[in-house]
Structure 1
Amino acid sequence: MAERRPAYLSELAQGTERFHEPRRPDCPWCGSTQLRTRLRTTDLLQHKPGSFTVDQCRACAHSFQNPRLTPEGLDFYYRDFYDGLRAEHVRRVPGARGDTARHRERARAVARYIEPESWLDVGTGRGEFPAAAREELPYTAFDGADVGAGIAEARREGRVDEAHEGRLADLVPRLAGRYDALSMLHHLEHTPDPRAELRAARRVLRPGGHLLLELPDPECRYAHLLGRWWVSYFQPQHLHFIPLANLRAELAALGFTVVGVDRRAAHVPRDLTAACALFLERWSPRADEPWRTSAPTEVQRRVRSVLTRASVPALLSARVADRALAPLISRSPYANAYRVIARRNADPSS
């Protein structure tokens, strides 16, 4: 913490406003200027300074961070989350990419439609999905693509056969027409331009190849019930919230045929647990964080430790409720995510 503090404080001394682009007056999905504010919040995940707004389009229901973070802002708020200080904590989050059983089920879902020889996992992180999916599809070659430092580890540890560093749109020239299957698991919501990612996915897939998508569902009732404590808002990292109808229409326009939609399997039973954890953390003395001007005092540390232990029964109760309600919730408007499997159609000229 002490080693990182000077660099963080130096950046913060320049203010956080520079991390945001100008606020846009129109919807990035349909161009309508009929916008409403859906959410105002702070960074409830790492507690880095700054405030964030999510607007919703009244015309097409697309929601998006507005003003959006700049590339420098994304770098600042992503830093020490998936890698570095918080990496181990993130791996323990229910439904995170390290959920092996969930990954294997995803592979089986695609295998109902195709037996892929080659599969590219976009936003692969450390390659947890390919490592688990190859247990279901041992004859499939799994590659990964990502912009983070984890992609090098994924290749080094053998979780992917090939590692491609960079955004998919930039990788298209050397990956075009190379894959039978492509997955984007909770990836599109992180990207500045989801449509560009989908266009790139079409070019990377061979005709007849299948695309697996999972995204948080902005129409989830929990979003309205829990407000800023709904963990899938995930500010400031989630830039877009795409309603299922909008995604289906975009896939059709790009030349895909949707062959499967599933909210039940995509649901992650964590809404109440995460909301409880975020709320309790918000009102507890802060942990030692390098973006704070100073480390907490011994009294603050002790108070935090006492409150953390005292919160265990509430968190366990919320976790039990999430799991007990999951069979019902996953089949209701409270399901927090959706899955789409789509087949790339042949080019009209072929």
Structure 2
Amino acid sequence: MLFDINKSHYKYREEFDEFPGIENHAVEYTTCVCGGNQATVVSTTSRHRNFQPIVACETCGTLRANPYLTAETADFYYRNVYGNVKRTDRSPEQLFREQQALSIVPFFDDILGEFETVLDYGGGAGGKTADFLKASKDLSLYEVETRYSQYAFENGIKPHDPSARYDLVIVSHVIEHMIDPVHQMRDIIDRCCTKDGLLLVATPIIDRQRARQWLRHFHISHKYYFTEDALIGMMASLGCRLVKQNNKDSFLFRVGGTPDIEAAQQHYRRGAEKTRAAIARELRPGWRSFLRSLKFWQPQPHNQAAPRTPELSP
């Protein structure tokens, strides 16, 4: 195990209750996005030092919180806790400016002529995509937190039209929050994307970092932590072809293809190999761990008997 809640020397340790009253709500065990059930425990703690088991899938290498919130618990969490915990100190204007500083629009500079309508799905105040307005694109936003979406609507971004299909759909740092990414991404493709449209998925990619850095991503609102191959494999299983990616967190797909199960399985195998290798590198014995083991090592004779107690050994 990489991170144990019983140890206290982590770089990202914080005192912070991510879900007050969580003991009154239900959690459940789930399979991975690849359908795998076999997994290795990676961590028992979130970055805020809340108890949260994280496992690495043996089939595809994806990390996930397991057990995790049920759909009903997650709905309660996002409606009543998430905004108050994560964004209570940020006004809509502040969030918009923070997002705009991380604008995703430059990623599309070479293909701006390939689409006209854009949907920012789960985009907060809309700052990451607002610069599409300067490029004369028809930009809409879907966001459940009305405090932030209203600010976007007041600044030229349109509300999502459930009856419309969009040339480009952007799902930026949303998929890691999904309870069932396969089902939910398929739903977005079916309801929101035009035929052969573009779909951008942005999410933290764990195998682009040393395993020792993974802890900073572990938060109770995040269920999944993808490797590059596991994400591409999952999207291939949904009939999505990779168009391009950057070296950070963004992947652009063309939707509307036939699900490629063979390609998905190949990516899953590579993702699993990368995750296993990353964990092994981090757990590889070094001088410090060797000296710590010596400190607590006490030799015991092979014929040592179990301790006698009055209850068991009168």
- TM-score for both structures, normalised by structure 2: 0.65
SS in 2 for 1:87: coil
- Check 1:150–1:127 CA distance in 2 against 1; reply closer, same or farther (3 A cut): farther
CA RMSD, Structure 1 to Structure 2 (Å): 3.1
Instruction: Answer whether contact 1:152 1:163 (CA < 8 A) is retained.
Output: no
The answer to whether 1:157 aligns with 2:154 is yes
Q: In structure 2, what residue type is equivalent to 1:220? A: R
- Check 1:111–1:211 CA distance in 2 against 1; reply closer, same or farther (3 A cut): farther
Q: How many angstroms does 1:119 deviate by?
A: 0.2
SS in 2 for 1:150: helix
- For residue 29 of structure 1, the aligned residue among 33, 38, 41 is 33
Q: May I ask how many residue pairs the two structures share in their alignment? A: 236
- Distance in structure 1 (CA, Å) of the matches to 2:214 and 2:125: 31
Q: How many angstroms does 1:220 deviate by?
A: 3.2
Q: How many angstroms does 1:189 deviate by?
A: 0.4
Which residue in the other structure is 1:241 paired with?
A: 225
Moved over 3 A (4+): 73-77, 88-92, 345-348
Instruction: Answer whether contact 1:20 1:67 (CA < 8 A) is retained.
Output: no
- Distance in structure 2 (CA, Å) of the matches to 1:347 and 1:42: 38
Q: How many angstroms does 1:347 deviate by?
A: 8.0
Which residue in the other structure is 2:242 paired with?
A: 258
Q: In structure 2, what residue type is equivalent to 1:147? A: V
- Distance in structure 2 (CA, Å) of the matches to 1:148 and 1:90: 14
- Distance in structure 2 (CA, Å) of the matches to 1:148 and 1:185: 15
| Ranges in structure 1 where 5+ consecutive residues have no aligned partner | 1-10, 165-170, 267-337
The answer to whether 1:145 aligns with 2:56 is no
Q: How many angstroms does 1:142 deviate by?
A: 0.4
Instruction: Answer whether contact 2:45 2:53 (CA < 8 A) is retained.
Output: yes
- Check 1:259–1:346 CA distance in 2 against 1; reply closer, same or farther (3 A cut): same
Kindly name which structure, 1 or 2, has the bigger radius of gyration based on alpha carbons: 2
- Check 1:90–1:141 CA distance in 2 against 1; reply closer, same or farther (3 A cut): closer
Q: In structure 2, what residue type is equivalent to 1:17? A: E
**Alignment of structure 1 residues 210-229 onto 2, 5 Å:** 210-222=198-210, 224-226=211-213, 228=215
Q: In structure 1, what residue type is equivalent to 2:89? A: R
Q: How many angstroms does 1:144 deviate by?
A: 0.5
Instruction: Answer whether contact 2:100 2:129 (CA < 8 A) is retained.
Output: no
- Distance in structure 2 (CA, Å) of the matches to 1:193 and 1:129: 24
**Alignment of structure 1 residues 43-82 onto 2, 5 Å:** 44=48, 50-69=50-69, 70-71=73-74, 72-82=76-86
Deviation per CA, 1:154-210: give whole Å up to 9, x if none. Answer: 34422412246xxxxxx5xx34xx111110111110111211232123222112321
Q: How many angstroms does 1:66 deviate by?
A: 1.4
- TM-score for both structures, normalised by structure 1: 0.59
| Ranges in structure 2 where 5+ consecutive residues have no aligned partner | 1-18, 260-314
The answer to whether 1:189 aligns with 2:188 is no
Q: How many angstroms does 1:227 deviate by?
A: 5.1
SS in 2 for 1:30: coil
- Distance in structure 2 (CA, Å) of the matches to 1:43 and 1:225: 12
The answer to whether 1:206 aligns with 2:194 is yes
Q: How many angstroms does 1:91 deviate by?
A: 4.8
Counting aligned pairs with the same residue, the percent is 19
Which residue in the other structure is 1:310 paired with?
A: none
Which residue in the other structure is 1:107 paired with?
A: 105
- Distance in structure 2 (CA, Å) of the matches to 1:346 and 1:30: 19
